[in-house]
A and B are shown apart, each in its own frame.
Chain A
């Protein structure tokens, strides 16, 4: 089949899944940013240094995995270098393979208090985006970041087109939408930020509101492109298992809810990339627009509870755990995928590694995932 026809067919399958309509088989998506270079024999140093090479090796890994079954999409397409994005999302320094780390190690986010407590007032005074531009040189070299941004601006559309040319749908291909909680817990460091939530909640809330209004302005100004238009709404330290209910209800959920509503209004598909365990608060997902969002958990959130509470309102993309892919066997992976397929009964599920298949996922497990997804996902 022509790649363009294949792409259209896959796109329709994913769109139907999001709207919980019947599909011929469950879609299968790839997520393995650090797995791709290891699988294809590229060093992590080269992957981190060469933006175009990172895209090439991701597509090569996907093409190779496609030999084991159906592969419709990639969750988060690799577009250029990875580590500058991480510095930006975490407001933290990132140790890079080939620089601070041995050439074939995984990059690592360095947990440190990069933002001082008194800078909350600076954010209130100057505004979030102005403050951010002043802050970023603390966590990433300014020239490096500018070069990265320039590359992305020049090459983003072309690169996304390359996934399409290979017949793959890029799901989270639109702007990321990160709530203030995650930025601040990165910049302040998690422990210190949590202390702030207990000690100076009103100040933190005022800062969050300032940050969030600017984030929403950016989303409102963004232009959706054809396709899924997935906007990555990340949550990791804001997970229910991490945050006391009274804090979560005040500092997490209102922002999640509003960002989703604004994204949907603009025609984006919010992809709730939620790591860790969010089971406690799954019922809140009933407040989100029905059949417009994707929950993208990592294997820690209870999907049986999800199915019961919001299975008629929302699709899931996931959630084969990293631990299973790195320490399990192909048989374990097959059993896990089958259980997920059985739970979702024919729609509402895009089979995908949870979070991101890790660097040390066993190749035979990733291949077993693609095979199991194709075999079991087609049988319902």
Chain B
């Protein structure tokens, strides 16, 4: 079942994925096993995206199928099943209300097992800082579509420094017009061109840690 479920998800076969999850539950399979199969499917999705076979529309659809599968397992299945990876705080910065890219990153990180704290859009620097302090998360993802987001991102970086958190928090930035030159301007540690890149960056950082 696991292999078939992973493949169905990787092939974006929505009906088949949901039927297989329902059947597995009926057959008494464990939540963690089913979740692992779904995550393996999402890993394949990521690989197919990185190889150029899949595009953003495929990632969005995959995220939707994964979300529905997790719902069938119970809303908090990811947390209850255990095995969650590191915490990551994510949000669209102050002055920008765009959430498509941010939501895609949140979905892909969750599908890859990260414990994501999604702060939504138009998030002030102080809220990012407070959340990092309260949660103990060591990775921060800042999103923004508009170029006006750059200064909000820079402001958040400055607040991290002022609070003495800069060296302990890794920061990745992403969004429509993001470039490495802009990342330098902001002073972030990494720039993700897309949601899959955000997963790769987090994988690298959590392995390093």
Measuring CB to CB, which residues of chain A are less than 8 angstroms from any residue of chain B?
95, 105-106, 108, 110-111, 190-191, 194-195, 197-199, 240-245, 247, 276, 321-328, 332, 358-361
Q: Closest CB of chain A to B70's CB: distance in Å?
A: 17
Q: With A191-B64, A321-B177, A321-B179 as known contacts, state yes or no: A327 contacts B147, CB within 8 Å.
A: yes
Residue from A106, A198, A243, A328 with most neighbouring chain B CB atoms (10 Å) = A198
Question: Considering the chains assembled together, what is the distance between the CA atoms of A95 and B151 in angstroms?
Answer: 20
Question: Considering the chains assembled together, what is the distance between the CA atoms of A247 and B56 in angstroms?
Answer: 12
Interchain CB contact (< 8 A) of B95 among A105, A240, A245, A361? A105
Apart from A191-B60, A323-B147, A327-B185: 4 A-B pairs, beta carbons within 8 A: A243-B56, A245-B55, A323-B181, A360-B148
Question: Considering the chains assembled together, what is the distance between the CA atoms of A190 and B98 in angstroms?
Answer: 12
Question: Considering the chains assembled together, what is the distance between the CA atoms of A328 and B14 in angstroms?
Answer: 44
Interchain CB contact (< 8 A) of A195 among B61, B100, B177? B61
Q: Closest CB of chain B to A330's CB: distance in Å?
A: 14
Determine whether B178 belongs to the interface, using a CB cutoff of 8 Å to chain A. yes
Question: Considering the chains assembled together, what is the distance between the CA atoms of A322 and B98 in angstroms?
Answer: 17
Interchain CB contact (< 8 A) of B147 among A95, A199, A322? A322
Question: Considering the chains assembled together, what is the distance between the CA atoms of A215 and B127 in angstroms?
Answer: 46
Determine whether B203 belongs to the interface, using a CB cutoff of 8 Å to chain A. no
Question: Considering the chains assembled together, what is the distance between the CA atoms of A328 and B182 in angstroms?
Answer: 8
Interchain CB contact (< 8 A) of A327 among B64, B96, B176, B181? B181
Interchain CB contact (< 8 A) of A323 among B58, B99, B177? B177
Task: List residues of chain A with CB within 8 A of the CB of B12.
Answer: 198
Task: List residues of chain B with CB within 8 A of the CB of A326.
Answer: 147, 150
Task: List residues of chain A with CB within 8 A of the CB of B179.
Answer: 321, 323-324, 327
For window 94-115 of B, CB contacts with A under 8 Å fall at 95-100, 103
Interchain CB contact (< 8 A) of A244 among B54, B151, B182? B54
On whether the beta carbons of B64 and A241 are closer than 8 Å, the reply is no
20 pairs from A and B in contact (CB 8 Å cutoff): A95-B97, A106-B146, A111-B97, A111-B99, A191-B60, A191-B64, A194-B60, A195-B61, A197-B57, A242-B55, A242-B56, A244-B55, A245-B55, A321-B177, A321-B179, A323-B177, A323-B182, A324-B179, A324-B181, A361-B147
Question: Considering the chains assembled together, what is the distance between the CA atoms of A323 and B176 in angstroms?
Answer: 10
Interchain CB contact (< 8 A) of A242 among B57, B96, B103, B185? B57
Count A-B pairs with CB separation below 8 Å: 82
On whether the beta carbons of B146 and A194 are closer than 8 Å, the reply is no
On whether the beta carbons of B100 and A190 are closer than 8 Å, the reply is yes
Residue from A242, A276, A326 with most neighbouring chain B CB atoms (10 Å) = A326
On whether the beta carbons of B100 and A111 are closer than 8 Å, the reply is yes
Residue from A198, A244, A327 with most neighbouring chain B CB atoms (10 Å) = A327
On whether the beta carbons of A247 and B57 are closer than 8 Å, the reply is yes
On whether the beta carbons of B151 and A198 are closer than 8 Å, the reply is no
Task: List residues of chain B with CB within 8 A of the CB of A245.
Answer: 55
Question: Considering the chains assembled together, what is the distance between the CA atoms of A332 and B184 in angstroms?
Answer: 14
Question: Considering the chains assembled together, what is the distance between the CA atoms of A271 and B100 in angstroms?
Answer: 27
On whether the beta carbons of A358 and B55 are closer than 8 Å, the reply is no
Question: Considering the chains assembled together, what is the distance between the CA atoms of A240 and B182 in angstroms?
Answer: 24
Find the B residue at minimum CB distance from A324. B181
Question: Considering the chains assembled together, what is the distance between the CA atoms of A244 and B56 in angstroms?
Answer: 7
Question: Considering the chains assembled together, what is the distance between the CA atoms of A291 and B65 in angstroms?
Answer: 45
Task: Mark each residue of chain B from 45 to 78: 1 if its CB lies under 8 Å from any CB of chain A, else 0.
Answer: 0000000001111101100100000000000000
For window 1-21 of B, CB contacts with A under 8 Å fall at 12, 14
On whether the beta carbons of B178 and A243 are closer than 8 Å, the reply is no
Task: List residues of chain B with CB within 8 A of the CB of A241.
Answer: 55-56
Find the A residue at minimum CB distance from B98. A111
Question: Considering the chains assembled together, what is the distance between the CA atoms of A108 and B99 in angstroms?
Answer: 12
Question: Considering the chains assembled together, what is the distance between the CA atoms of A110 and B54 in angstroms?
Answer: 27
Find the A residue at minimum CB distance from B104. A191
Task: List residues of chain A with CB within 8 A of the CB of B181.
Answer: 323-324, 327-328, 332
For window 169-195 of B, CB contacts with A under 8 Å fall at 176-179, 181-182, 185
On whether the beta carbons of B100 and A191 are closer than 8 Å, the reply is yes
Task: List residues of chain B with CB within 8 A of the CB of A111.
Answer: 97-100
Q: Closest CB of chain A to B71's CB: distance in Å?
A: 15
Q: Closest CB of chain B to A188's CB: distance in Å?
A: 13
Q: Closest CB of chain A to B44's CB: distance in Å?
A: 15
On whether the beta carbons of B55 and A243 are closer than 8 Å, the reply is yes
Find the A residue at minimum CB distance from B183. A327
Q: Closest CB of chain B to A244's CB: distance in Å?
A: 5
Task: List residues of chain B with CB within 8 A of the CB of A328.
Answer: 181
Q: With A244-B54, A358-B146, A359-B148 as known contacts, state yes or no: A194 contacts B61, CB within 8 Å.
A: yes
Question: Considering the chains assembled together, what is the distance between the CA atoms of A110 and B97 in angstroms?
Answer: 7
Q: Closest CB of chain B to A209's CB: distance in Å?
A: 20
Task: List residues of chain A with CB within 8 A of the CB of B54.
Answer: 244
Q: Closest CB of chain B to A136's CB: distance in Å?
A: 21
Question: Considering the chains assembled together, what is the distance between the CA atoms of A245 and B12 in angstroms?
Answer: 15
Task: List residues of chain A with CB within 8 A of the CB of B147.
Answer: 322-323, 325-327, 358-361
